[in-house]
């Protein structure tokens, strides 16, 4: 993912900017409450039931979880986050994943949420796993949608290679123009984000509202993280939803069983982890397979110990 985003920024500066228009995937669910925890925006939906905390991934906002909000807000109180620098929200200098993770812990404690379930996508899933490992008594469960304790493809990197990549991503550089960033997001969504190209272009318009420098900082944080040694501390059941796309099999030569085994290997040590393949789907599986993702989450929630 990191390499594709960097390459997109370098190669696509000439792609035309997106025209301003109504986006069919923009957030439409109206929250009953909106407030801030630290620099993180929180929107609440629903009033009863086991709390769910939804954490979108890199360059994403509440729009990433519109189907989830619609499906579960009648039976659960939902808190959906927007991290600083994402989805048009102002960035905060020097603060990345550590501060964002702290805001989730603060949300749970200040709102006195009783054992919420964390549902994260991508970077948000990694944050959810980190929080569950650091504070195992604060949460009831974790659903990780294509997010893992270590960035896939970097699991065998020696420490010096990881350090070098993080330094490169964090090195001072001119911020990309709005045109270049829009092109970067479009190429990423078309190549990795989703299977439908029209949908990819619409989602790229939404992710393109994020702050490029903040996105790069969170990318560096994501590369730096390797939570595998902390996984045994996670006491709660973890569901990993892993998208599989047959059309991409040439780029990553794994069949469905192979991908499930690979993701399972990266979660090794987690006491109660299950990997669920959703196919055909790419990284934003909740758009390619909304029904399958919703059903997987519903079955997981139903099976949780009360």
Q: Which of 41, 54, 40 is nearest to 97 (CA)?
A: 40
pLDDT above 50: residue 18: no
- Cβ partners under 8 Å of residue 289, min gap 6: 243, 278, 279, 280, 281
201 vs 18: CA distance, rounded Å: 9
Using a cut of 0.85, tell me whether the model's pTM lies above it. yes
Q: How confident is the model at residue 173 (pLDDT cuts 50, 70, 90)?
A: confident
Contact 109, 69 (CB under 8 A): no
Structure confidence at residue 10 (pLDDT): 38
Structure confidence at residue 21 (pLDDT): 65
Is domain 2-303 given the CATH code 3.40.50.1820 in the classification? yes
| CA neighbours closer than 13 Å in the CB half-sphere of residue 174 | 6
Q: How confident is the model at residue 271 (pLDDT cuts 50, 70, 90)?
A: very high
270 vs 17: CA distance, rounded Å: 44
Q: Which of 50, 127, 66, 48 is nearest to 300 (CA)?
A: 50
Contact 189, 203 (CB under 8 A): yes
229 vs 216: CA distance, rounded Å: 25
C-beta atoms surrounding 125 within 10 Å = 25
**Torsion of Cα atoms, 19 then 58 then 98 then 260, to 10°:** 170
Residues 134-167: tens digit of each pLDDT: 999 999 999 999 999 999 999 999 999 999 999 9
Q: Which helix (H) or strand (E) holds 298?
A: helix 290-303
Q: Which of 186, 293, 181, 205 is nearest to 27 (CA)?
A: 205
């Amino acid at each position: 993912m990191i390499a594709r985003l960097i390459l997109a920024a370098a190669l696509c500066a000439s792609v035309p900017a997106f025209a301003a228009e109504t986006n069919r995937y923009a957030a439409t669910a109206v929250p009953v409450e909106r407030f801030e925890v630290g620099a993180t925006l929180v929107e609440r939906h629903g009033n009863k039931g086991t709390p769910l905390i939804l954490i979108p991934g890199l360059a994403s906002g509440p729009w990433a979880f519109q189907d989830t909000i619609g499906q579960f807000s009648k039976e659960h109180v939902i808190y959906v986050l927007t991290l600083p620098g994402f989805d048009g929200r102002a960035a905060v200098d020097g603060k990345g994943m550590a501060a964002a993770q702290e805001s989730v812990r603060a949300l749970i404690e200040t709102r006195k949420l009783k054992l919420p379930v964390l549902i994260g996508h991508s970077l948000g899933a990694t944050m959810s796993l980190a929080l569950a490992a650091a504070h195992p008594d604060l949460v009831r469960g974790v659903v990780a949608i294509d997010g893992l304790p270590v960035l896939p493809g970097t699991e065998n990197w020696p420490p010096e290679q990881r350090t070098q990549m993080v330094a490169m991503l964090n090195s001072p550089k001119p911020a990309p123009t709005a045109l270049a960033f829009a092109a970067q997001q479009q190429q990423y969504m078309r190549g990795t984000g989703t299977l439908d190209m029209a949908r990819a272009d619409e989602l790229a318009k939404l992710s393109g509202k994020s702050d490029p420098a903040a996105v790069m900082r969170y990318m560096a944080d994501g590369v730096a993280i390797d939570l595998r040694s902390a996984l045994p501390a996670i006491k709660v059941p973890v569901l990993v939803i892993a998208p599989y796309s047959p059309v991409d099999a040439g780029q990553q030569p794994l069949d469905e069983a192979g991908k499930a085994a690979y993701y399972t290997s990266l979660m090794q040590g987690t006491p109660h982890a299950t990997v669920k393949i959703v196919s055909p789907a790419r990284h934003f599986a909740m758009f390619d397979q909304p029904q399958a993702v919703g059903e997987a989450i519903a079955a997981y929630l139903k099976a949780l110990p009360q």
